Chains A and B, each alone.
Chain A
Amino acid sequence: MRAVRELAVALTGLGIVLLVWWAVTETGLISRAFLPSPDAALAALQRGLARDLLAQTGATVILMFQGWLLASLVAIILGALIGLNQTARETLEPLLEFIRPLPASAIIPIAIAVFGLTPGMVLSVVAFGSLWPTLLATVHGFKSVEPRLVEVSRALGLSRLSFVWKIGLPNAVPDVLAGMRLSLTVALILAIVTEMLAGQQGLGTAILLAGRSFRAADIFAGLILLGLIGLISNLVLEAIEQRLLRWRAA
Chain B
Amino acid sequence: MDGMQGAAGTVRSGEVIKPAIAFESVHLDLGGREVLRDVSFSLPSGSFGCVIGPSGSGKTTVLRLAGGFLQAKNGSVCVGGVPRSGPSRDVAVVFQDYGRALLPWRDSYGNVSLALEAAGVPRSERKDRIERLLTTVGLGKHLHKYPSEMSGGMQQRLQIARCLAQEPRILLMDEPFGALDAMTRQTLQDELLRLVSDSGMTVLFVTHDLEEALYLGDVVVALAANPGRVDRVVTVPLPSPRSQLATREHSEFLRLRRELFGLMQDGHG
Chain A interface residues (CB < 8 Å from chain B) = 146, 148-149, 151-159, 162, 166-167, 170-171, 173, 246-248, 250
Contacts and interface: CB of A to CB of B under 8 A. Distances in A.
Given A154-B69, A157-B87, A250 B149 contact: yes
B191 interface: no
Nearest to B115: A156
Given A170-B103, A170-B105, A156 B149 contact: no
A148 B87 contact: no
A155 B97 contact: no
Interface in B88-127: 88-89, 91-93, 95, 97, 100-101, 103-107, 114-115, 117-119
B246 interface: no
B88 A151 contact: no
A43 to B, nearest CB: 50
Contacts of A152: 93, 95, 101
A149 B69 contact: no
A122 to B, nearest CB: 37
8 contacts: A148-B95, A149-B103, A155-B67, A167-B103, A247-B104, A247-B105, A248-B104, A248-B148
A148 B105 contact: no
B57 interface: no
B100 A155 contact: no
B88 to A, nearest CB: 7
Contacts of B149: 250
A158 B148 contact: no
Nearest to A158: B118
A154 B100 CA distance: 15
Contacts of A156: 89, 114-115, 118-119, 162, 166
Size range of the interface on B? 20 to 34
A166 B117 contact: yes
Contacts of A246: 146
Interface of B: 1, 67, 69, 86-89, 91-93, 95, 97, 100-101, 103-107, 114-115, 117-119, 146, 148-149, 162, 166
Given A157-B87, A157-B88, A250-B149, A149 B105 contact: no
B105 A173 contact: yes
A155 B87 contact: yes
B114 to A, nearest CB: 6
B93 A155 contact: yes
B237 to A, nearest CB: 33
A28 B104 CA distance: 58
Nearest to B149: A250
Contact of B87 (A149, A154, A162): A154
Nearest to B168: A155
Contacts of B88: 157
A171 B106 CA distance: 11
A167 B107 CA distance: 14
Given A158-B114, A247-B104, A151 B148 contact: no
A149 B100 contact: yes
Given A148-B97, A155-B92, A156-B89, 6 more contacts: A152-B101, A154-B69, A157-B87, A157-B118, A170-B105, A250-B148
A157 B89 contact: yes
Contacts of B162: 156
A153 B156 CA distance: 17
Nearest to A249: B148
Contacts of A151: 69, 87, 93, 95
A170 B103 CA distance: 9
A89 to B, nearest CB: 24
A166 B114 contact: yes
A113 to B, nearest CB: 45
Contacts of A248: 104, 148
B69 A162 contact: no
Contacts of B166: 155-156
A230 to B, nearest CB: 29
A156, A162, A166, A173: residue with the most chain B Cβ atoms closer than 10 Å: A156
A146 B102 CA distance: 10
A172 to B, nearest CB: 11
A151 B166 CA distance: 15
Contacts of B146: 246-247, 250
A73 B86 CA distance: 36
A151 B115 CA distance: 13
B35 to A, nearest CB: 18
